[in-house]
Chains A and B, each alone.
Chain A
Amino acid sequence: MKNEFKIIINLLPGKSRILDVGCGDGTLIEALIKQKDIDARGIELEENKVKQCISKGLSVIQGNAETELAQFPDKAFDFVILSQTLQAFYRTENVLNELLRIGKKVIISIPNFGYWQVRTSLLLFGKMPVTKSLPDSWYNTPNLHMCSIKDFYQFCDKKKIKMDKIIGINNEKTSSINRINLEMKNFLCEVGVFFIS
């Protein structure tokens, strides 16, 4: 399981209600239900992955988060999770607002475009970066709105979104990110996990 998922499982309180947006094959929600007795739901675009989720007994609805979060009432979930997909939406800010509307708290992870490997790829080789968390080439990537940990941090600041906790992930290592170490972490972390509300 992805290190990021382990962090999320550890930090979520038991018996809460969560929605995993873009839940894939349901690995995270299955673990949340089994390990923490969490009422976990999912939404996923791909029919095949939805089928896998349903076969695991998971309550996952097929649909596009870009347009279909509107059906959930305000504060319907204690946590809404969006794992490394924010950059793939057309209207990123809209989706973010919807997530904050339907969830009391939102957990967003982003593949960090400020990571040193990404920077050096462009700086030294003049090529679009391909890394572990950004595995696609420029011509087939689903990513439309890439950002760095610093970008997202400043975005939250500007929009007055409260950042409860930020965790940086670099391979197996995790660390807390704050205003003081932001520049350094933005350089060293491959993925940033933001707990916002």
Chain B
Amino acid sequence: MKYKIENLNHIRVTKPLKLDCGQTIKDFPIAYETYGKLNEEKNNAILIFHALTGDQFVTGINPVTNKTGWWNYAVGAGKAVDTEKYFIICANVLGGCMGSFGPKNLNTMDGEPYGLKFPVITIKDMIRAQESLLEHFEIKKLLSVLGGSMGGMQLLQFCALYPDKTFSAVPIASTTSHNAQQIALNELARQAIMADPLWNKGNYYKEKKKPRNGLSVARMAAHITYMSDKGLQERFGRKLQEKKDYEFTFDADFQVESYLRHQGNVFVDRFDANSYLYISRAMDYFDLSKQFKNGLVEAFQNNKTRFLIISFSSDWLYPTKNSKDIVIALNATGANVAFAEIETDKGHDSFLVNEPEFLETLKGFLDSNFEIFKNEK
């Protein structure tokens, strides 16, 4: 996965940013992509936050990987997030590996890639780094912010930090803090990466061989958590992979094994192992209630943003309870909140795949809120 930062849209954040860990960074790149056109009134802008392994290439063809963008089902001309109507911005997160400042960048101190010398970042750091984009486009108030999974965490952080910068917000299959199980699953992924001898304490950028196996296992484990038991069973069951019977080896006899190996393999071509460590750590550290003396209620106090919380019935990674806790916190402050639990077998991944009920709900919310936002001005 090679690209030159000059070939990607990016801004350089020049003002110093003091990170939660205490270190200060400055003059660093945040890569982004836009879709659609910003109208004259500048009231049709939507900021999308990507999930753990996403990037700024939301839809169309990702020019670096030559693959379809990660939210192709939801974003595009005539789709739920209509690029003919709205102006979409998405940035690669701080710590990421698609052009934004991350562990594979060169350290100006010694000219070497940062590796583990890169500061440990948080979701809040990510949001504060991205805020410069709004200045860049001179947008005072976004029509909406959208984000699933870790994207939803960023969104909630955004709303808590900048209550007046968006008219509406849609956190999808997300949470205000990781529970023990969610941290445990991330730790499993990190240990898989670090157990790979080629990971070499994060110093592998100059080596020919990258810690592919570790990262691949991390992805396989994570991928299981993105699907529901029923979804996995219906798709693969006990079907064998292009063979009539067991081979009595440890090759991929079952289709599900082959599928996971494939998912692991294609992932390592586009993702940096250290980025995975840093970003998953940021997710685990995220606890919105901890940032306020009176907890979540204070996080959303006097917030005028119109929220739509969405969860999926078969999502066991970020179950409906996580979303309902957000709804409860918002209701306790009298915030403007709508909530829908979409009935589906597609698990956590439901927001990324073709799930018509979800897409229709999202479209209905955005279009109706655009009308209200326009009339408010």
- Which chain A residue shows the least CB distance to B334? A76
Interface residues as binary, A43-72 with B (CB distance below 8 Å gives 1, 0 otherwise): 000010011111111111111000000011
Q: List, in ascending order, chain B residues with CB within 8 A of A53's CB.
A: 338
Interface size class of B (residues with CB under 8 A): 20 to 34
CB of A62 within 8 A of CB of B341, answer: yes
Q: Is A126 an interface residue (CB 8 A)?
A: no
Q: List, in ascending order, chain B residues with CB within 8 A of A76's CB.
A: 331, 334
CB of B364 within 8 A of CB of A54, answer: yes
Q: Is B72 an interface residue (CB 8 A)?
A: no
Q: List, in ascending order, chain B residues with CB within 8 A of A135's CB.
A: none
Q: List, in ascending order, chain A residues with CB within 8 A of B334's CB.
A: 17, 73, 76
CB of A47 within 8 A of CB of B340, answer: yes
The tally of CB-CB contacts under 8 A between chains A and B is 65
Q: Is B181 an interface residue (CB 8 A)?
A: no
Interface residues as binary, B355-377 with A (CB distance below 8 Å gives 1, 0 otherwise): 00100110111011101100000
B residues 318-341 near A (Cβ < 8 Å) are 324, 327-328, 331-332, 334, 336-341
Q: Is B33 an interface residue (CB 8 A)?
A: no
Tell me the smallest distance from the CB of B324 to a CB of chain A, in Å.
8
Q: List, in ascending order, chain A residues with CB within 8 A of B128's CB.
A: none
Tell me the smallest distance from the CB of B171 to a CB of chain A, in Å.
14
- Which chain B residue shows the least CB distance to A70? B328
How many Å lie between the Cα of A17 and that of B341 in the bound state? 25
Q: List, in ascending order, chain B residues with CB within 8 A of A17's CB.
A: 334
CB of A71 within 8 A of CB of B327, answer: yes
Partner of B357, one of A47, A56, A57, A72: A47
CB of A61 within 8 A of CB of B357, answer: no
Contact (A63, B339) CB under 8 Å given A71-B328, A73-B332: yes
Interface SS of chain B = helix
Q: List, in ascending order, chain B residues with CB within 8 A of A47's CB.
A: 340-343, 357
Q: List, in ascending order, chain A residues with CB within 8 A of B215's CB.
A: none
CB of B339 within 8 A of CB of A51, answer: no
Contact (A57, B328) CB under 8 Å given A51-B357, A76-B334: no
How many Å lie between the Cα of A187 and that of B148 in the bound state? 55
How many Å lie between the Cα of A53 and that of B340 in the bound state? 10
How many Å lie between the Cα of A98 and that of B235 in the bound state? 45
Tell me the smallest distance from the CB of A98 to a CB of chain B, in Å.
13
Partner of A55, one of B331, B339, B365: B365
How many Å lie between the Cα of A50 and that of B309 in the bound state? 12
- Which chain A residue shows the least CB distance to B313? A47
CB of B337 within 8 A of CB of A55, answer: no
How many Å lie between the Cα of A62 and that of B358 in the bound state? 14
Contact (A58, B338) CB under 8 Å given A47-B343, A72-B331: yes
CB of B338 within 8 A of CB of A71, answer: no
Q: Is B306 an interface residue (CB 8 A)?
A: yes
Q: Is B58 an interface residue (CB 8 A)?
A: no
CB of B339 within 8 A of CB of A57, answer: no
Q: List, in ascending order, chain B residues with CB within 8 A of A73's CB.
A: 332, 334
Footprint of B on A, CB under 8 Å?
Answer: 17, 41, 47, 50-63, 71-73, 76
14 residue pairs bridging A and B, Cβ less than 8 Å apart: A52-B364, A53-B338, A54-B308, A54-B364, A55-B360, A55-B363, A56-B368, A57-B365, A59-B306, A59-B336, A61-B338, A62-B339, A63-B339, A71-B332
Contacts A55-B368, A56-B368 given; 19 further ones with Cβ under 8 A? Answer: A17-B334, A47-B340, A47-B342, A50-B338, A52-B364, A54-B361, A54-B368, A57-B365, A59-B306, A59-B337, A59-B338, A60-B338, A61-B339, A62-B340, A63-B324, A71-B328, A71-B331, A72-B331, A76-B334
Question: Which are the 6 A-B pairs with shortest beta-carbon distances?
Answer: A55-B364, A57-B368, A61-B339, A71-B328, A59-B338, A59-B336
